[in-house]
Amino acid sequence: MQQNTKLKLNGKESVCFLYFGFFKIKLESQFEMRWILKPKPESSIIQRLSSALNVDTIIASLLVQRGIETYDQAKMFFRPSLHDLHDPFLMKDMNLAVARIEKAITAQENIMVYGDYDVDGTTSVALMSSYLETISSQVTTYIPDRYTEGYGISYQGIDYASDNDISLIIALDCGIKAIEKIAYAKAKGIDFIICDHHRPGDQIPDAIAVLDPKRDDCEYPYKELCGCGVGFKLMQGIASTQNQSIDDLVPYMDLVATAIGADIVPITGENRVLAYFGLQVINQSPRVGFKAMLTQVQKETLTITDVVFIIAPRINAAGRMKHGLHAVNLLTEKNPEVASQYALEIEVYNSDRKNADKNITEQALIQIKDHGEEERYTTVVYQEDWHKGVIGIVASRLTETYYRPTLVFTKSGDKLAASARSVKGFDVYNAIDACSEHLEQFGGHKYAAGLTLKEEQYESFKQKFEEIVAATIDKKLLSPEIQIDATIELDQISPKFFRILKQFAPFGPGNMTPVFMTDHVTDTGYGKCVGAADKHLKCRIEKSGLTIGAIGFNLGTKCDTIRDKKRFKIAYTLDENEWNGAISLQLKLKDIN
């Protein structure tokens, strides 16, 4: 289905295409991208590192931009080692958590592994439960229902534990703000160990142990772990009491790598090590559940990007459309035939998710247009029958379209629930916090959050949120930027240069794929628009007698810019193009000016 809708954005009308899944909507805005050239590091540091590593100065400059200034730092970057992982007992309360679990195993207590219904939560539950089952037969899992229980620890989950003689709950990717619920569990004789990575509130729950590197009183050296990463550190702590080494835990790192990619945490430091080895597991000895999901994927080597766009949406779809336990079952299943059946069911959920996503996005964009809200600093929309499982995705779509802090609300019981997404550089969590007098509860990160409020508070919250954002956001953040790492010439692009760049992977926040700029280039004359509705641009870039192929996805509108031998500048990443069995380097254009 294609809907022709013209939207007025920042005073200009524009029409192009927004793709998600296999759907297409003619709705997406065109922004003038801001090109930001990163400051070039001090030349003496670049020269020193270039000599130490025997690499050219461009590579050395890229490394220094990433905080790598010595040979030893570069060695850790290019050759991640399991020995680079921190001692788990540096995390506050780790000794208490491990001691309580040891006690539970010795006494054969029933243990419940509890986690959120998104990718981070379900991979955490799969990780911890499958490990504990190797040393205890008294382990069960619990994922709250998105619709009847909502996010995080629920009273219903605690009651389930009480009814089933469960005396210890290990909560993963949630719990840091569950003050009342932890107290409720304690009154029922149930102990809690919390493994979270979200920002704590003013009060820490009265649990046996609260593992969260973002606690002010936690001196753990790496603060950016995802929920599954914190769970892995607990698992590492338990393993030390079982005479197991870090090598014994490598098979579980595929789950951690998946959570790192899906939760968009920085791929630096400890996360980089976990992602690096986790991807090796996914590519060399994938668990049965991953194999079942990847049967239709024709790729020899999966990257973090592939994990984010192929594996994560399918895991997420279970919790969005049905129940998160379906994902846990798939991730822990050892029988290939059973796993294939689970994977087929999840494929159906993912297809349903795409349909709901497409329809709600269409409705939301029309609502914004009809209400004349294109000129606001925020996007806040609500419809009571929107599927709660996809409002986070829709919020991301709207942020892509209007590029401003966005909340999408739906009805959830007798309250309204929302997912929030932000633009680069703006802390939406702080903005929501400033509106807390209108909220029942909220939580999340700088760029993504969730909240609930009473329906009568909706308009007041919407107005306050707009006021807070308008007063605090740097207006330049309302248009997307391209961060350019370095200016280079075409003669600096070589197979050796690209081979070294590939070793910068895994890429992600904190270590994005390097973006380059080259000025005064022309097209050889054969540039053309390709794809449905001429959405993309394919050309061959020329400068100083050298040429190289280029593809610009979503840059079809730039065709006129390159015609008639006009000179222009390009921002791009380097990529490989395979055609008829031959592999060649190509430029992946991000923008043209």
Host H or E run for residue 449: strand 448-454
Token pair for 310: 């192929």
- Check whether 362 has a pLDDT greater than 70: yes
70-86 tens-digit pLDDT: 999 999 999 999 999 99
Residue 108: CB atoms within 10 Å: 10
Token pair for 27: 């709705």
* Rg value, the chain, Cα: 25
- Check whether 517 has a pLDDT greater than 90: yes
394-440 tens-digit pLDDT: 999 999 999 999 999 999 989 999 999 999 999 999 999 999 999 99
- Check whether 261 has a pLDDT greater than 70: yes
Instruction: Give this prediction's pTM.
Output: 0.87
Confidence of residue 24 (pLDDT cuts 50, 70, 90): very low
For the structural domain made of 366-478, what CATH number should be given? 3.10.310.30
Host H or E run for residue 257: helix 253-262
- Check whether 7 has a pLDDT greater than 60: no
The CA-atom distances, in angstroms, between 348 and each of 325, 341, 343, 358 are 15, 11, 9, 16
Model pLDDT, residue 19: 33
372-406 tens-digit pLDDT: 777 899 999 999 999 998 999 999 999 999 999 99
Q: State mean pLDDT over 330-351.
A: 94
Confidence of residue 321 (pLDDT cuts 50, 70, 90): confident
Question: What is 381-425 written as a DSSP string?
Answer: EE-TTS-GGGHHHHHHHHHHHH-S-EEEEEEETTEEEEEEE--TT
CB 587, CB 541: distance < 8 Å: yes
Confidence of residue 27 (pLDDT cuts 50, 70, 90): very low
Nearest to 316 by CA among 357, 284, 280: 357
435-459 tens-digit pLDDT: 999 999 998 888 889 999 999 999 9
Q: State mean pLDDT over 257-281.
A: 95
> Please, what CATH class does the domain formed by 34-79+481-592 belong to?
mainly beta
Model pLDDT, residue 373: 74
Confidence of residue 61 (pLDDT cuts 50, 70, 90): very high
Counting residues of the chain whose pLDDT is more than 90, the rounded percentage is: 83
Whether the link from the prior residue into 506 is cis, omega within 30° of 0, is yes
Q: What distance, in Å, lies between the first and last C-alpha atoms of the chain?
A: 32
> Please, what CATH class does the domain formed by 83-346 belong to?
alpha beta
Confidence of residue 32 (pLDDT cuts 50, 70, 90): confident
Could you give the CA distance from residue 36 to residue 39 in angstroms, rounded to a whole number?
9
Q: What is the DSSP letter of 508?
A: B
125-163 tens-digit pLDDT: 999 999 999 999 999 999 998 888 888 999 999 999 999
Model pLDDT, residue 456: 97
CB 202, CB 95: distance < 8 Å: no
Host H or E run for residue 158: helix 155-163
Could you give the CA distance from residue 591 to residue 33 in angstroms, rounded to a whole number?
8
The CA-atom distances, in angstroms, between 463 and each of 324, 394, 405, 435, 447 are 34, 21, 13, 10, 20
3-class state of residue 130 by DSSP: helix
3-class state of residue 77 by DSSP: helix
Phi and psi for 269 in degrees, rounded to 5? 45, -130
The CA-atom distances, in angstroms, between 202 and each of 178, 205, 215, 466 are 12, 10, 10, 25
* CATH topology identical between 83-346 and 366-478: no
Chain mean pLDDT for the chain: 91
Write down the domain spans for the chain.
Answer: 34-79+481-592, 83-346, 366-478
Q: State mean pLDDT over 198-210.
A: 94
* Burial class for 492, CB neighbours closer than 10 Å (0-12, 13-18, 19+): middle
- Check whether 2 has a pLDDT greater than 80: no
